[in-house]
Amino acid sequence: MHVKSLKQNRREERLLVTGERYCRAQQEAHHASHTYLCLLASTRNHQALHNYYHGKGDRSLAQAASMVGLRLPTQPGEREGRAGGQGTKEERRAGQAIDAIMFGMIKNSLFGNTEETEYKLLSTETKDGVSFEVRRYDAAKYAVVSSEGRAFDQVSGELVRKLLMYIGGSNEQGEAMGTAAPLIITVYPRNDGVLSRRLVVGIRVPSTYQQSPPTPTDSAVRIEERPGMTVYALQFGGFAGESEYRAEALRLTRTLGETAPFQRKQYFCCSFDPPLKPYGRRNEVWFLQEEP
């Protein structure tokens, strides 16, 4: 009798466990279906956000680096570059020195403090679906480098690199100053809108060094005092070259209209991000308002 009861109890336990497993399987299927629906909805939302915010000019990290003459570290088995075993001993030493400077510049750009130039927002306006701001910037000292004779896309990366090296420590004091935003490229359009082969690239010296900026070691870099200015600012994303800046400048011109008081002989192409940032970039076109 006792043996029979024990067998019956075990049988009932097996049935009970089987039933619990069956119920748990139902719950798991229900949970999995909700999880999959959530995944589908999240994927659609992510794609919608990506399409809206992802700039058409976005590039890979390697492409971003190459735009300003930088090279990423090589992986094992890849061909060695300038600082590898190729070239004479002097060439290798020179390459290693340059790489050290580059490393300091990259480290400063990626890990240094980024200081956005402060301004007073005078107004935010929207015309014909285009939004822009009117801002007032105070006078400040800028590190500046210029070029004549070469096109925007040919030389802008080289000039930007010189400034990043300066604030990254290539100065007589060896100061890594952090970074400032934006980088401002002054361009001079012809009557047909095409940019002339003259441009000036400037970056505001960070506030800590405004009173006494470190002395550049590159003779091409100079420090100049720029007066305060009022600008019309139009923002857009992606990597920007001459064609993108020209298109946005035309859009801002049409939005402001022919009677707006801004200078036609020059405007500013601004980048707020370090060269190695591959996506989510912020660019702006500034028109300098004529002073009354």
Do residues 149 and 274 share a domain?
A: yes
List the CATH number of the domain containing 258: 3.20.80.10
CA atoms of 136 and 133, how far apart (whole Å): 10
Assigned domain for 61 exists: no
Do residues 119 and 33 share a domain?
A: no
Do residues 29 and 156 share a domain?
A: no
Q: Which domain holds residue 19?
A: 1-53
Q: What percent of the chain has pLDDT over 90?
A: 45
Q: Is the pTM of this model over 0.85?
A: no
Final residue of a domain: which of 53, 71, 90?
53
3-state secondary structure of 3: helix
Do residues 165 and 260 share a domain?
A: yes
Do residues 195 and 281 share a domain?
A: yes
Assigned domain for 100 exists: no
* Average pLDDT over every residue of 56-85: 51
pLDDT band at 20 (very low <50, low <70, confident <90, very high): very low
* Average pLDDT over every residue of 199-216: 94
Least reliable range by pLDDT among 12-16, 210-214, 233-237: 12-16
Assigned domain for 215 exists: yes
Predicted local distance difference test score (pLDDT) of residue 230: 97
Do residues 49 and 129 share a domain?
A: no
Residue 5 pLDDT greater than 70, yes or no = no
Give the mean pLDDT of the chain.
Answer: 78
pLDDT band at 277 (very low <50, low <70, confident <90, very high): confident
Do residues 121 and 9 share a domain?
A: no
Assigned domain for 72 exists: no
Assigned domain for 135 exists: yes
Q: How many structural domains comprise the chain?
A: 2
